[in-house]
Structures are given as structure tokens and as C-alpha cells.
Amino acid sequence: MRSERSHPEETRSIVNDPYVKKVSALAGDETLFSKSPQALKTLRRTLLKEALHYFIQRNPEYYTPLLDALGITPDTVTLEDLVALSIPSDVLRGDTYKKMMVNPVVKGGAVYHSSGTTGQSPITVYKSPLDQNMINLAVPQLVSHQIGYQLNGGLLLMLCPPEMVSSVLFGVTAHYYESRGITILYGACMKEPTSLNEALPSMTLNNQVISDFIHASIEPKYIFSAPVGMKKLLEYAKKESLTIDLGKGGFVNTGGGAKGTGVALEALWQMREDTICAQNEKGEGIPAPWYDGIGHTEGLLILFGEKNSLSKVPHPLEEVFIVNEQFKIVEEGQGFAAHWNPLNTTYFEAFYPGDFYQVEDASNFYGKTFTFVRRLDLGKGKVIRPGCGALVMQ
């Protein structure tokens, strides 16, 4: 992550832009979750039109020829047009993001990189402080809605080194829990390669921190980790005959789903049964509730799961849709996902991360649920790479 110095006088026009002011207000609007799926769909269409006008005005050299080449006009833009406007994540490797940014750019933010575990140049994007502030409003609201209540105090075990908080997903997560008065313990540390066979740095559990977490009297307790980290924690607890009690209201929150790790959440849930417990509202012992989310370096928002479920929903403002191999939108069934986020005011954030999903109709605010199936098959010529944004956990 690389920070950039702020020059407020250069960016006042961006901050005061009508589109930016509108989405800034919407980012903190809790009433979005009580709107109907159709009302939210209509809102997203309106935002899409306004976003294209905004980006054409702020970077005509890039966006005007792009829309002209695709035959898209802002006032008549449709969801089908987003299929063409969305780019594969691999396009964002290197410095491509720079030509997509508005002028002037709101400085004072940071440049984020994926881990580069694929051996290629990492995906690289800039997050302005304006956009980060909106995400720090929007993501906690989605999480709180899915959990069903606002968190207030407690202790969190994050199975990552402190330096990983500079990544997008871990950073937003840490901000969310800290803003709720929750103390964070970092239960992993970096391990540098010890041989030529280990090409990448890895993470290893910090057993002392984990012991401190288990024996702490603070409740409720929470655990946040990638699935591979949870697998290591569960194996360690079983080996040491440990029971981890999260208390009343405690839960496990995994991030990243099973992307590129070979770790199935269903298997982790079975391992959890006798290892990680909590209490329900009546004070009765239960297996710890489990919520899973998926985020991307190139995206600002996340999909967050329902309790003990593989299905997930986006934030009400984010447009997530599924297309088949002919790039036709799939209303129900399987296909690969595209994401568009109106809260990114620095560049038009519409991308294909390379994830294959099952989409189904649902009675929730979004009208849909999305279940991660797998990464796309490289053998079919897709320009995606598995493992992006993840470190190896040993």
C-alpha cells in the first residue's frame, strides 16, 4: 500500500460534484435495506446513468472514446451495457488504473496491490479517502443487516499479521470492528521463505496470541480469517484439545470464501461443531454462528453471507449480475460474476473477478442470493488467475 499526499484545493470540485454528493449520502443510508428489490434496481439504473455522465465529464479522454466504441450513451444505458463495460480483473495489473482515474484525483488515499501469488504483476488500484470513507459506511451496514444487530464491544481474533491490515478486505474489516469498540488481537505472523522451494512469504499461527484470546474474560468474542486460516486454527485446537468459547453473541467471520484455497466451508463447519462454541439469546450453548464474505482487491464492496450459509448478498447499491459464456445475463442458474460499484468516484469500477456463481431468486432486499462455486477454468481462455489476493498459510 502506498499513500498519496492530499491537496484539498485541487479536489474541491470533485467533493462538491452533484454525483459525488449523492452517492456519499447514499453510502450511509440505512433505509436502503428496507426498500424493495425493484426500487433498488431502479435506483441503481439511475446511478449508472449519472455515473457515466460524471466520468465522461471528469476524464473525457478515456471514457468518451470507450463509450463511443461500445455504442453506449449514458441516458439510455442498460444492465446489458454493463456486460460490455465491465473489464476482466487482469486488465488492472500494473498501472492501467491510472488512465481510468478522474481529473483531478482526490489525493490522500492509498495504492493497493494484490499479493502477486500468480507470478504476474499484481492487480493495482488507487482508493481515494473519499471512496474509502463511503466504504467504511456501506460495508458495516451490510454486515450489521446480515448479522441482525449492531456490535458493541468485545474481542476479535484476526488470523492475519498486523501488516495485512493494509490490504483492502482486512483493512475494512479491522475498521468495522474497531469502530464498534472491539479490541483486535492479531493471531498470525509473517514467515519468510526458508528455501528456494518456498517462493512466497507465508503466514503462521501465533499460538501465544491465540491462547490469550481463548483465556480472555472479555465477551463476546469474534474470529475473522480466511478459510485456510480457520482450518489451521481448528486443527490446532483439536490437536491441543482446546474448546474456544465465543460467548453470547460471538461468531466466526471468514473472508474470501473458498477461492483458490481448496478449503470447503462445509468441512470447516463440521470441524467447528465440538471446537468453537457460543451462546444463543437464551444462553444455551450452540456451535458458533458462521458468516462468510467475499471481497476483491479491485473492488471496494463485498458480498456478505447469511448465517451458516454459503449464499451471499451484495450491498443494495452494488450491481452484481451473472453472465454465461456468451456474455448473456443469467437470472437464475450458474455463470461468472460481474460487479459494478457506484461508490467508487475515482474510476468506473466494473469488473469480472473470475468467479463462477450460482444465482437464485430470494425474498431478501436484493431479490437474489449468490453462491460461490469455483474460479473460472483457465483452459477456456478466460483472462483470470486463481489465488489473487491470497497469501499461502502454513
Q: What is the pLDDT of residues 124-147, one digit of tens each?
A: 888 899 998 999 899 889 999 999
pLDDT range class, residue 153, cuts 50, 70, 90: very high
Give CA–CA dist 184/181, Å, rounded: 10
Residue 30 in grid coordinates: 440505512
CA-nearest of 50, 68, 56, 79 to 368 is 79
What pLDDT is attached to residue 57?
A: 96
Residue 323 bridge partners (DSSP): 329, 336
Q: What is the pLDDT of residues 245-296, one digit of tens each?
A: 999 999 999 986 445 556 788 999 999 988 999 998 888 999 999 999 988 8
Q: Is the pLDDT of residue 387 over 60?
A: no
Task: Provide the pLDDT for residue 1.
Answer: 46
pLDDT value, residue 113: 75
Helix (H) or strand (E) holding 69: helix 60-70
Alpha-carbon separation of residue 76 from 54, 58, 80, 82, 341 (angstroms):
15, 20, 11, 12, 19
Q: Which of 8-17, 153-162, 203-212, 241-250 has the lowest mean pLDDT?
A: 8-17
Helices (H) and strands (E) in the chain, counts: 11, 23
Q: So what's the pLDDT on residue 195?
A: 53
Running DSSP on this structure, what letter comes out for residue 320? E
Of the ranges 9-18, 24-33, 142-151, 372-381, the best mean pLDDT one: 24-33
Residue 67 sits at φ, ψ, to 5 deg, of -70, -35
Q: Count of alpha carbons within 13 Å of 284, Cβ hemisphere only? A: 3
CB within 8 Å of 200: residues ≥ 6 apart: 115, 117, 193, 391, 392
Domains recognised in the chain with CATH numbers: 1-394 (3.40.50.12780)
Q: Residue 77 has what pLDDT?
A: 96
Question: For residue 232, what pLDDT is reported?
Answer: 92
**DSSP E strand boundaries for 143-296:** 154-158, 182-186, 188-191, 202-205, 221-225, 244-248, 251-255, 276-279, 285-287, 290-295
Model pLDDT for residues 219-239, shown as the tens digit of each residue: 999 999 988 889 999 999 999
Q: Is 251 helix (H, G, I), strand (E, B) or coil?
A: strand
Q: Comparing C-alpha atoms, which of 20, 43, 45 is closest to residue 133?
A: 20
pLDDT above 70: residue 3: no
CA distances from 7 to 1, 53, 268 (A): 19, 25, 47
